[in-house]
Amino acid sequence: MSENNKFDFAIIGGGIVGAATFYKMQSAFPEKNIILIEKEDILADHQTGHNSGVIHSGLYYTPGSLKAENCVKGRHELVAFAAAHNIDHDVCGKVVAAVEESELPFMDKIFQNGLANNTEGIEKIGPDQIREIEPHVKSIGGIWVPCTGIIDFRSTTSKLAEIAQAKNEKSTIVLGEEALSFETVGNQTTITTTKSKYIANRLIFCGGLQADRLAKKDQVPLKEKVIGFRGDYYELTEQARHKVRNLIYPVPNPEFPFLGVHFTRMTNGEIECGPNAVFTFKREGYGKTDFNLKDTANALGYGGTWKFFFNNIGFGIKEYRRAFSKRLFLKTLQRLIPELEMDDLKPGRSGVRAMLMNTKGDTKDDFRIEFTDHSIHVLNAPSPAATACLAIGGQITDMAKKHFEL
């Protein structure tokens, strides 16, 4: 095999976590040759490129968890990186608005989490203060989170990869090649893709929606499965955009691992409303009727999926009805902004979340990174992984130093 196809490290997956890991690893080890392999023709084509574009604050997450620590640390790094490289972003702040008395205890809990997580500047505010920030919101009070922002994650991913590659002329990015198999002999692994073969001494997997399948190909024993949940968005029409200034979130339902339908100003000035959360019949399917037999059989043949369905049957039915009913979607949005009308909404895009689910139907809430003697696997990196990407990349780099004795 040509020396040009031999590398010290191979990173599998070109979303923002893979690109940030490339950036951190190459910065720490500029002499190491690294290859980043992405199966699509562009970087950030799945979860990264279809998320809400929010720089999360660290408000929601259990103190001491990897999510909490990496979100706050990563947010600071991400904002500094965006400012240094002229990436579209705006630390505009957000409101979390309560509309019912029953939401106040959980709102207080996430506020206390925010304080414990050093989410700077947060404060409880009354309905009048909320209306000063977001004049069209009707609430009984909420939380002001000034350190939340918005960013272009696709551009961030491209810039991270571009800078990393420039640090070593022998490092490279390969697009449009899916990693099919990994054969490890001694200290080297042969990676067979749809177009070529590469040899790497160590591997780092940042596979997102394909994380469990890549782990299996690398002989990692994993009982859990990745289950995809699609999130659909509407956009506000141009004449309705004035009803949202920046970011408006509800108090999330503590029973579910989602933040609820919210309003997001994008860096291009558009306002998105959503997402909902419905089981998807195709892991990388963004249309409401997208279907893949392998993905569907894989998910529905797993006992954990059915336990999740049975445990959350009311929530699931409600979400599916809302997915196919603009009227029901509008009704949810009107909880926060009552004056919204049907003509204010137009169909938007969709995204898919990768949720690592165990056999009991529980979604693994925290980030999960594991290692073998020759590889590191990011097995679970749901939101706020994009915000935390540089912190996650730093953590992976530290793991590589320790476990691979670099």
d(CA 320, CA 276): 9
- Whole-number pLDDT of residue 317: 87
pLDDT for the residue 170 = 96
What domains are there in the chain, each with its CATH number? 3-48+154-224+365-403 (3.50.50.60), 94-146 (no CATH), 225-246+254-363 (3.30.9)
What is the pLDDT, as a whole number, of residue 2? 65
18's CB contacts (< 8 A; 6+ apart) are: 11, 12, 36, 38, 204, 206
Is the peptide bond preceding residue 275 cis, with omega within 30 degrees of 0? Answer: yes
Q: What is the pLDDT of residue 314?
A: 86
Q: What is the pLDDT of residue 1?
A: 61
Structural contact between residues 15 and 43, judged by C-beta atoms closer than 8 angstroms: yes
Q: What pLDDT is stored for residue 19 in this prediction?
A: 98
- What pLDDT score was predicted for residue 240? 97
Instruction: Tell me the whole-structure pTM to 2 decimals.
Output: 0.96
Give tens-digit pLDDT for 172-213. 999 999 999 999 999 999 999 999 999 999 999 999 999 999
Q: Residue 203 to residues 93, 186, 197, 218, 219: CA-CA distances in angstroms?
A: 38, 13, 14, 10, 13
Task: Quote the DSSP letter at residue 76.
Answer: H
Parts of the chain with a pLDDT under 50:
none
